[in-house]
């Protein structure tokens, strides 16, 4: 005997949504907010790929490099936070896609950018647009 699964449009979308259930959350956890705030001190160089030339200059001038986080999802959040602290809403769409692909929702992205922008404006930072 064969069994069939009847799916409505909403049920099918939820069943075949490639993002995990956590990605549909609308809030960031306190741990995630702490990573976003710590990213304020990270420069744009912390998210660029490590090249031989960069390693050479770090060795010569003693510049420390911020290591990426071991959790891929949290590293995507840190990258987005660094870009947002430096560029505000002016972030490349490929970076936003990577952030969403890591399991975050569009609402979480909007909340992150809005809060970072508000913090930057409250502190009088010019770099945040």
* Cα–Cα distance, 4 to 53 (Å, whole number): 59
As a whole number, mean pLDDT of residues 63-68 equals 71
Mean pLDDT over the full length of the chain: 78
As a whole number, mean pLDDT of residues 28-47 equals 88
* Cα–Cα distance, 37 to 55 (Å, whole number): 27
**How would residue 84 be classed by pLDDT, with cut points 50, 70 and 90?**
very high
* Cα–Cα distance, 47 to 54 (Å, whole number): 12
* Cα–Cα distance, 80 to 84 (Å, whole number): 6
Token pair listed for 127: 């770099």
Token pair listed for 89: 């809403």
Please say if the pLDDT value at position 30 is more than 80: yes
What are the domain boundaries of the chain? 29-42+68-122
């Amino acid at each position: 005997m064969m069994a069939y699964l009847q799916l409505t449009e909403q049920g099918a979308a939820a069943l075949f949504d490639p993002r995990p259930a956590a990605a549909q959350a609308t809030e960031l956890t306190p741990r995630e907010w702490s990573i976003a705030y710590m990213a304020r001190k990270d420069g744009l160089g912390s998210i660029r790929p490590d090249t031989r030339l960069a390693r050479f200059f770090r060795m010569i001038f003693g510049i420390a490099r911020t290591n990426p986080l071991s959790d891929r999802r949290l590293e995507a959040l840190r990258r987005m936070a660094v870009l947002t602290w430096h560029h505000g809403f002016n972030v490349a769409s490929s970076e936003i896609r990577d952030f969403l692909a890591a399991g975050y929702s569009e609402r979480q992205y909007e909340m992150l950018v809005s809060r970072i922008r508000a913090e930057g404006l409250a502190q009088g930072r010019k770099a945040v647009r």
